[in-house]
Amino acid sequence: MSDATTALYPAPDSVSKGAFVSGMPAYEKLVAEAEADYAGYWARLAREFVEWKTPFTKTLDESQAPFFKWFEDGTLNVSHNCLDRQVAAGLGDKVAIIFETDDGKVSRHTYSDLLARTAKLANALRAQGVKKGDRVVIYMPMSIEGIVSMQACARIGATHSVVFGGFSAQSLRDRIQDAGAVLVLTADEQQRGGKQLPLKAIVDEALSLGGCESVKNVIVYKRTGGNIAWHEGRDLWLHDVTEKQPDTAEPEWVSAEHPLFLLYTSGSTGKPKGVQHSSGGYLLHAAVTTKWTFDLHPDDIFWCTADIGWVTGHTYIAYGPLALGGTQVVFEGIPTFPDAGRFWKMIQDHKVSIFYTAPTAIRSLIKAAEGNEAVHPKRYDLTSLRILGSVGEPINPAAWEWYHQHIGGGRCPIVDTFWQTETGGHVITPLPGATPLVPGSCTLPFPGIQAAVVDETGKDVPWGQGGILVIKKPWPSMIRTIYGDPERFKKSYYPEDFKGKYYLAGDGAIRDAKTGYFTITGRIDDVLNVSGHRMGTMEIESALVAHTDLVAEAAVVGRPDDTTGEAICAFVVLKRPRPTGDEAKAIAKELRDWVGKEIGPIAKPKDIRFGDNLPKTRSGKIMRRLLRSVAKGEAVTQDTSTLENPAILDQLGQAY
């Protein structure tokens, strides 16, 4: 299969020896096992990695394809698997989470602590009338309370939907409404980079926008003690509702197919989709990928820098490491506070052995280190590290090499993990004790994942030729549906083009002609990847045109950016004459703030360009390919003869 001789970085002995998957023959054996008996392979792992209340008798049900079911007649509880199971195994006093606040205070939380806090909150939620199957929105900072909120929902069979703390009131409202949430868990404020930022006030605003009548209560974790408004009868303090609750709570035993969570993500249309995940299959993949991709051993200190508002924070903070009884670092703050050495200092202080972050963070820390010796990683002792990981976007070879050399000291494999909100966990990734690495490639499928590159008709393309990334067989942790919109689920992921047979990832890929290694070539739909965050171009366009006083028309494209991977570039036609100079600057600022309010700061366009019109074909289609060239600052080489008004190209040359 793979040809180790072309790989620049073979798995080092120091990691390979004693790894759970040690050497390529071990990897290939697992792949062969899955090929020989697909359902049998996943059933074996499901028995090994998950503790079942009632064992499943049937592995995969394809009768309602593409609505696949895994282990459906098995029952379990995810929180029981993450917490009670560890305590029962004698790990009650083991530190589950080392928590560090924005301002550097460190606290340690054992498995027994987490279990007791989860049980208390589970009881409190039940006391508020939250039942199995109800949806609960979590709008929380990075905190023990945030993780406990997720675990408590899992414990009572409520389906959580975590909304990233950077989303605006409008976005939060849309998600609460779509999910029909009965309760919101939030904090008074969050603290990031030395600043207090509102959370509760945004929940208040979201609920006041209307459409959220399903919400009965708001439970508030007091993080900063900042001033907040209080709605008697609706709002409750977390410490009040949990104080008198017992610290044990019987788990709700649910079917493996019971929805553990919804997580909203961007797609090709203006409306974010609520990706629905299962309990059994999801937990299985969270556990097995945490174990094999990160080679997580009992004495490792694992640190995933993601936020619980994204899928990475679900699978590799809230569930995977806990399901294995691991010890992890959880961080409230940001990588550049008090300075850009923060990550390196924390690795040193907590003796982190496995570090998982995003290319955008690495790129910005490279810049910072190059500009300031004091925050260069060489100033820190990083010798505790043995494995590094990357996620969220392609990692460019230069950043890979720097990460490998300056953070990993040349001795730590980098697992470049490709996956998506929809896949639940890693689907294409190296295994650190086995896979020889090539910078810029996510290498080979996780054992059991049938990833392939095909053409528009669903036919395999030869290695060395680019195409569309698909997964040919259902897998346990896959998306089950889009909440409330099964038709959209089918159309987005199992389109007719492939006769509804293959899962369509939405990314392009190419396999190396010799090794078969996968390289992801980027999204093939209208989704941008800004600092590892997914943003739909249509979502941003809708937000812009919602400014009905100012904006007549808008088109949004991405352009490459050295730090954020892609940057958002908006082309705007105003309802007034095209502005220039200071007026253009002021309007650009107003529009950025507007988008920040409509969606959240992560969606603010970096460049705004004003035209009297947008470049369109004579049939009225916006010429997006041309806009992408303009956004990049390239000379326009495309045929512009079909353009209705070629003169506007000059106007669009100036970005504000």
Per CB under 6 A, residues contacting ligand 6R9 are 265, 310-312, 391-394, 416-421, 442, 505-507, 520, 523, 529, 532, 534
Residue with structure tokens 């199971």? 85
For β-strands 301-304 and 354-357, DSSP reports them as parallel
User: What is the DSSP track for 112-149?
Assistant: HHHHHHHHHHHHHHHHTT--TT-EEEEE--SSHHHHHH
Closer to ligand 6R9 by CB, 416 or 539: give it: 416
Q: Rounded to whole angstroms, how far apart are CA atoms 353 and 432?
A: 13
What single DSSP character describes residue 495? -
Q: What residues form DSSP beta bridges with 184?
A: 137, 218
DSSP code of 279? S
Longest dimension (CA), the chain: 74
By C-beta, is 242 or 357 nearer to ligand 6R9? 357
Q: Is 531 annotated as a binding-site member?
A: yes
Nearer to ligand 6R9 (CB atom), residue 334 or residue 524: 524
Residue 545 assigned to a binding site: yes
Tokens 């409509």 appear where? 598
Residue type, 573: V
417 is in an annotated binding site: yes
CB 507 within 8 A of CB 524: yes
Is 245 within any annotated ligand binding site?
A: no
Give the separation between CA 641 and CA 623, rounded to whole angstroms: 12
Quote the least distance from Cβ 339 to ligand 6R9, whole Å: 27
Query: Do 283 and 50 form a contact (C-beta atoms < 8 A)?
Result: yes
Of 545 and 602, nearer to ligand 6R9 (C-beta) is: 602
What is the nearest approach in angstroms of ligand 6R9 to the Cβ of residue 178?
17
Least distance (Å) between residue 297 CB and ligand 6R9: 23
Q: Which is nearer to ligand 6R9, 130 or 520 (CB)?
A: 520
Amino acid 566 reads: E
Q: How far is the CB of 322 from ligand 6R9 (least distance, A)?
A: 19
Q: Which helix (H) or strand (E) holds 558?
A: strand 551-561
310 exposed, middle or buried (CB, 10 Å; 0-12, 13-18, 19+)? buried
Which of 435, 585, 356, 627 minimizes the C-alpha distance to 21? 435
User: What is the closest distance, in whole angstroms, from the C-beta atom of residue 480 to ligand 6R9 in the complex?
Assistant: 16
Query: What is the rounded distance in angstroms from the CA atom of residue 76 to the CA atom of residue 17?
Result: 34
Is 250 labelled a binding residue?
Answer: no
352 annotated as belonging to a binding site for a ligand: no
Secondary structure letter of residue 8 according to DSSP: S
C-beta of 527: minimal distance to ligand 6R9 in Å? 7
Is there a binding annotation on residue 507?
Answer: yes
Closer residue to ligand 6R9 in complex, CB, 41/493: 493
Q: How far is the CB of 315 from ligand 6R9 (least distance, A)?
A: 8
Question: Closest CB to ligand 6R9 among 16 and 519?
Answer: 519
The size of the chain, in residues, is 656
Shortest Cβ distance from residue 361 to ligand 6R9 (Å)?
Answer: 13
Who's near 132: CB < 8 A, 6+ residues apart?
A: 156, 157, 158, 252, 254, 258
Residue closer to ligand 6R9, measured from CB, 86 or 360: 360
> Smallest distance, Å, CB 265 to ligand 6R9?
5
Nearest-CB residue for ligand 6R9 = 421
- Ligand-binding site membership of 421 (annotated): yes
Q: Is 420 annotated as a binding residue?
A: yes
Q: How many CB atoms lie within 10 A of CB 633?
A: 10
CA distances for 285 relative to 12, 255, 447, 449, angstroms: 26, 16, 11, 11
The answer to whether 551 is a known ligand-binding residue is yes
Choose between 273 and 547: whose C-beta lies nearer to ligand 6R9: 273
- By C-beta, is 119 or 444 nearer to ligand 6R9? 444
The answer to whether 159 is a known ligand-binding residue is no
Angle of CA points 319, 49, 309, to nearest 5° = 15
Could you tell me where the beta strands, DSSP code E, fall in 10-105?
Answer: 60-61, 69-70, 75-76, 95-100
Q: Which is nearer to ligand 6R9, 151 or 357 (CB)?
A: 357
Are the CB atoms for 350 and 98 separated by under 8 Å? Answer: yes
Residue 534 counted as an annotated binding residue:
yes
* Burial (CB count within 10 angstroms: exposed 0-12, middle 13-18, buried 19+), residue 92: middle
The annotation status of 560 as a binding-site residue, yes or no, is no
- Residue 312 labeled ligand binder: yes
Rounded to the nearest whole angstrom, what is the least distance from the CB of residue 523 to ligand 6R9 in the complex?
5
Provide, rounded to whole angstroms, the least separation between the CB of residue 494 and ligand 6R9: 16
Q: Which residues are annotated as a binding site?
A: 192-195, 312, 392-394, 416-421, 507, 523, 531, 534, 545, 547, 551
Q: Which residues are annotated as a binding site for ATP?
A: 392-394, 416-421, 507, 523, 534
Q: Which residues are annotated as a binding site for CoA?
A: 192-195, 312, 531
Q: Which residues are annotated as a binding site for Mg(2+)?
A: 545, 547, 551
